Amino acid sequence: QVQLVESGGGSVQVGGSLRLSCAASGFTSSTYYMGWFRQAPGKEREGVAAADLDGSILYGNPAKGRFTVSKDNAKNTLFLQMNSLKPEDTAMYYCAADPRRRSGNWLSASGYFYWGQGTQVTVSS
């Protein structure tokens, strides 16, 4: 049974940092495409970053230059290091995974079948 559990969210001030974790179980993370997404109230789910099987990372525009994705295959965990946080980064952050590349757009939510429950990130000024 595939399960994704996010953690590490919280409330920070502008300019602060958070490190999100996505613990995967029921599959080997090195064989699944994985990604981070976020969704703010009233907005569509947005791709933050996506990891390919070879370790390549694609960052969405909000993440470029501030966020870093890493993957520990030994621990079956995907990380999202977020620095220089802004109020517009406030959202629920989700981890996603899929054994197949369902979409040519790595950052499309439709490209992933398995999702975690999310972890809330709130950035205040």
Integer Cα distance of 113 and 28 in angstroms: 15
The arithmetic mean of pLDDT across residues 91-103, rounded, is 94
- Which of 76, 65, 60 is closest to 22 using CA atoms? 76
Q: Is the pLDDT of residue 30 over 90?
A: no
Tens-digit pLDDT profile for residues 56-68: 999 999 899 999 9
Contact (CB, 8 A) for 28 and 77: no
Which band of pLDDT confidence, cut at 50, 70 and 90, is reported for residue 103? confident
The arithmetic mean of pLDDT across residues 46-50, rounded, is 97
Integer Cα distance of 2 and 117 in angstroms: 13
Q: What is the pLDDT of residue 58?
A: 96
The stretches of 1-125 forming alpha helices (DSSP H) are none
The arithmetic mean of pLDDT across residues 10-36, rounded, is 95
Residues linked to residue 102 through DSSP beta bridges, in sequence order: none
Side chain identity, residue 53: L
